[in-house]
Amino acid sequence: MTAPLPNTPLDPALEYSMDHKKRGFFIIINQVKFESRTGQKERTGSDLDAAKLEETFKILGFNVLPFRNLKLADLRRLLAEYGQKDHSDNDCFGLAMMSHGEQDIIYCTDGSLKVDELTKPFRADNCASLIGKPKLFFFQACRGFTFDDGVEKTDADLPEDEDLEEERVQRLPIEADNFFFYSTPPGYFSWKNALYGSWFIQELCRVLDQWGTRHEFSQLMVSVQREVASNRHESLTDRAATSRKKQMPVSVSQLTKLLYFRPKLPPQLPRVAPSSES
């Protein structure tokens, strides 16, 4: 049972059902240290991101499961385990991966794997109990080595949203109901500060802390993109080649409905009739 929220769609079929007993699992994979043979340096500041993610998604009602410095075999076992769980009583599923990365790959402590290995166990053809439920994936990692130099100013109007149209279907695409949020576009560098964490994760948590239980999720993710791209975030280093650089997160939505994380109401206790005195 969920608390009412004003200004929601008139047709409840346009929203994901969030009336299950539990919100669901949110897995945090925080890769900080790496074996020398990977060629990857320690990711100082990532623990700040992991702690903030845990705090934020607990507030949204998730059962948060943090993991740190996983090897490839450990990560694959973890993904298989939670992909095979029964999520029937859960609203949704979420996973955040923070590590070094390149184009289409991401690192564990002892080697790399393709990004789609992280998401495949939760796809509709592999996890039946998550069919029709939102599956959210967040990636804080470089996707290449190109820096975003930014530009002085551009103005562009966003296209208007097309009207949603209800359609009765018998089969669902196996890739339906996924949401992928990357800290940076393919080929680009992703910024992180050793003292404050990453631009992307910190803004994601800040927006969700402020509005996550009140506004629609996809709209909030646009706010995250705007905040990371704003004037508040620009690299400052002692090298001209890496200073005054920008970053633009990328979201890929395969969601088919609107998503709200309304606070779950506590279960109501059964009524007990007053006892009569003799």
Catalytic positions, written as ranges: 100, 142
Find tokens 């290995």 and name the residue.
117
Q: Is 153 helix (H, G, I), strand (E, B) or coil?
A: coil
Closest C-alpha among 21, 104, 30, 9 to residue 63: 21
Residue 191: how many other CB atoms lie within 10 Å = 22
Q: Is 15 helix (H, G, I), strand (E, B) or coil?
A: strand
Closest C-alpha among 102, 104, 96, 99 to residue 34: 99
DSSP string, 187-212: TB---EETTTEEHHHHHHHHHHHHHT
Q: Using alpha carbons, list the distances in angstroms from residue 179 to 39, 125, 249, 269.
A: 30, 16, 13, 36
User: ∠ CA(65), CA(69), CA(75), 5° rounding?
Assistant: 65
Lookup: tokens for 142:
């470089």
Q: What is the largest CA-CA distance in the chain?
A: 89
